[in-house]
């Protein structure tokens, strides 16, 4: 999500220079925001799709990966520090 954050800052700082691509840039920032909203509920958050070690050792597109893609849930029973 660092990409969406950096893109949002670019719109804030340089949006007036973007011209015709400003609309597409704002849509990309909205996509990232909606993704984060869908990944959380009022009592839980879903984070870290996949295993960070095996993911970073794989140089394929995410849609071509055939390894286990685990989703971790953070809630009262599964706090982030355990």
Residues 57-71 have pLDDT tens digits of 888 887 787 877 778
Confidence of residue 82 (pLDDT cuts 50, 70, 90): low
Q: Name which of 73, 67, 32 is nearest 52 in CA terms.
A: 67
Please state the length of the chain: 82
Whether the CB-CB separation of 28 and 4 falls below 8 Å is answered with: yes
Query: CA-to-CA distance for 72 and 69, rounded, in angstroms?
Result: 10
Angle at 7 between CA 51 and CA 21, to 5 degrees: 130
- Taking only the tens place, the pLDDT of each residue in 3-48 is 888 999 999 999 999 999 999 999 999 998 888 888 777 788 877 7
3-state DSSP call for residue 31? helix
Please give the helix or strand (H or E) that residue 45 lies within, else none.
strand 45-47
């Amino acid at each position: 999500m660092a990409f969406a954050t950096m893109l949002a800052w670019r719109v804030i700082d340089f949006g007036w220079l973007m011209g015709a691509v400003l609309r597409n840039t704002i849509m990309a920032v909205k996509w990232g925001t909606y993704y984060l909203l869908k990944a959380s509920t009022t009592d839980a958050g879903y984070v870290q799709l996949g295993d960070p070690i095996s993911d970073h050792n794989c140089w394929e597109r995410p849609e071509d990966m055939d390894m286990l893609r685990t989703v971790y849930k953070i809630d009262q029973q599964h706090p982030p520090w355990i």
